[in-house]
């Protein structure tokens, strides 16, 4: 048995929750995601757990918060918890004036209503740069709405722009309960996790011992559920979670998915910055004849891109750094691009941005995740995913529809030469990137950004 087959065999043995494929729904745009989220909040009967990097103080964020509070006033027994990153919630946007961040909004809402909504801050590390809450999933009664999106205007297409992500609605009581239990036992009950709507919340430095213990516990944690037999008319669901460089089961399973690919592999990532182990497995997959499709955002579709006609900020160099990574990868694999074994699609649509992540392997496996497939996700952030086992291709039509929708705003790279190089960049970008290269800081930046 060769190594790829052995890995695939091991992968097939992962415990599953059996699921009716008709109760997994793929939403294809941010508007549908926003509307569905509001619908489910308004009709919730027992619980609403929202976990995201942030809930922003803007129109879309306030609309979500208002919907949650109104649902709580109408049904005080409704268990509502919002969990966001502790550090991200207490600062303004990058480049903005210093402020109390989104926590000020949460405090204001708490003063207006009789029945409170718990808004909890989760500190994965003592400082934001070294790790954040990147866990995803909204649990509403027995439904899991999974997306890499956070909650603000651009993710929810509230105004004239959107940030494109993936959106899935899964109605499964076992999955919802497993994910809810993880939130309760590993996050809510921790001494490191505190209410953000309190004006007298603790300072991060006083939480350092609790954060250390919290992170150590999270690194050992996993979703708990009863393994179920999956019939031929069902698909399997495996929820996965991971944190840290060592012993990270999510990282292991993502790597195994790529290593076990036999015929075809599709990867979506917003930023082209693979961890070393992923790069290695992609190269091996090409060598054994796997057809690989990589869908990545254009530099102009990056969160940090600034148009050359606007004042330059240092953070705006990041999209160009990622594009340089992509060009180097394409150049190294030019022969695979020429033979069409490797297809690189670059997404761009007007002034919108791209935030998709995920894997599809041999039309049998699909990974729904918020993991950026970069070194930061691999080492620093708390990440999760839902692995969908579909050995009988019961979701084939739905999966293909999603991929076709993603590809509709992409261009296929025919050669690395069609990707801009350093000499093509605006002068301030060239100057910054040359300085980064001279200081050999590009490797460090790729690890933490």
Question: Could you state, in order of their start, the residue ranges of all structural domains in the chain?
Answer: 22-220, 235-448
Burial (Cβ within 10 Å: 0-12, 13-18, ≥19) of residue 136 = buried
The size of the chain, in residues, is 449
How much is the pLDDT for 314?
87
CATH of domain 235-448: 3.30.870.10
Q: Which of 82-86, 119-123, 244-248, 298-302 has the lowest mean pLDDT?
A: 244-248
Q: What is the mean pLDDT of residues 202-225?
A: 96
| Sheet arrangement for strand 118-122 | 24-27, 167-171, 143-147, 137-140, 47-51, 79-85, 118-122, 194-195
**Structure pTM?**
0.95
pLDDT above 60 (res 90): yes
Checking 184-187 for CB contacts under 8 A at 24+ apart, the result is: 186/217, 186/218, 186/221, 187/83, 187/120, 187/122
- Give how far the C-alpha of residue 265 lies from the chain's centroid of Cα atoms, to the nearest Å: 19
How much is the pLDDT for 48?
98
pLDDT above 60 (res 8): no
Q: What is the mean pLDDT of residues 161-179?
A: 98
pLDDT above 60 (res 225): yes
pLDDT above 90 (res 179): yes
Question: What are the percentages of helix, strand and coil residues in the chain, rounded to 5?
Answer: 40, 20, 40
Burial (Cβ within 10 Å: 0-12, 13-18, ≥19) of residue 162 = buried
Backbone angles phi, psi at 200, to 5 degrees: -105, 35
Q: What is the mean pLDDT of residues 338-362?
A: 97
How much is the pLDDT for 91?
87
Helix and strand element counts for the chain (H, E) = 14, 19
pLDDT above 90 (res 93): no
Active site residue ranges: 134, 165, 355, 383
CATH of domain 22-220: 3.30.870.10
The pair of three-digit structure tokens given for residue 18, joined into one six-digit string: 């059996």
């Amino acid at each position: 048995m060769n190594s790829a087959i052995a890995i695939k065999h091991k992968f097939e043995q992962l415990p599953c929750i059996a699921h009716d494929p008709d109760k997994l729904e793929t939403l294809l745009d941010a508007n549908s995601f926003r509307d569905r989220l509001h619908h489910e909040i308004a009709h919730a009967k027992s619980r609403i757990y929202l976990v995201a990097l942030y809930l922003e103080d803007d129109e879309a964020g306030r609309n979500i918060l208002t919907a949650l509070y109104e649902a709580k006033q109408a049904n005080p027994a409704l268990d509502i918890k919002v969990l966001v990153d502790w550090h991200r919630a207490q600062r303004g946007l990058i480049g903005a004036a210093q402020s109390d961040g989104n926590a000020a909004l949460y405090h204001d809402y708490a003063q207006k209503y009789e029945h409170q909504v718990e808004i909890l801050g989760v500190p994965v590390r003592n400082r934001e740069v070294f790790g954040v809450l990147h866990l995803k999933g909204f649990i509403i009664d027995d439904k899991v709405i999974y997306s890499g999106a956070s909650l603000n205007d651009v993710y929810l297409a509230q105004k004239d722009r959107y940030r494109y992500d993936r959106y899935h609605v899964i109605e499964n009581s076992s999955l919802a309960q497993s994910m809810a239990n993880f939130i309760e036992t590993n996050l809510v009950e921790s001494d490191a996790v505190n209410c953000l709507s309190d004006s007298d919340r603790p300072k991060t430095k006083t939480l350092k011992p609790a954060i250390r213990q919290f992170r150590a516990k999270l690194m050992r944690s996993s979703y708990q559920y009863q393994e179920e037999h999956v019939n031929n008319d069902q698909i399997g669901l495996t929820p996965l979670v991971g944190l840290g460089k060592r012993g990270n089961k999510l990282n292991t399973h993502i790597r195994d998915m790529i290593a076990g690919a036999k015929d075809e592999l599709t990867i979506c990532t917003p930023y082209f910055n693979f961890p070393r182990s992923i790069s290695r497995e992609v190269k091996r997959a090409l060598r054994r004849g796997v057809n690989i499709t990589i869908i990545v955002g254009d530099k102009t579709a990056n969160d940090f891109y600034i148009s050359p006609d606007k004042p330059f900020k240092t953070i705006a160099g990041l999209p160009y750094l990622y594009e340089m990574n992509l060009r180097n990868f394409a150049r190294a694999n030019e022969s695979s691009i020429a033979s069409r074994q490797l297809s690189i699609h670059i997404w761009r649509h007007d002034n919108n941005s791209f935030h998709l992540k995920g894997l599809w392997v041999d039309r049998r496996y699909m990974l729904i995740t918020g993991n950026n497939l970069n070194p930061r996700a691999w080492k620093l952030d708390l990440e999760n995913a839902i692995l969908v086992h579909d050995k009988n291709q019961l979701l084939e039509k739905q999966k293909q529809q999603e991929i076709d929708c993603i590809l509709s705003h992409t261009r296929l790279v025919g050669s690395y030469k069609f990707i801009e190089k350093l000499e093509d960049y605006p002068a301030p970008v060239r100057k910054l990137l040359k300085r980064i290269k001279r200081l050999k800081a590009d490797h460090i930046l790729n690890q933490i950004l």
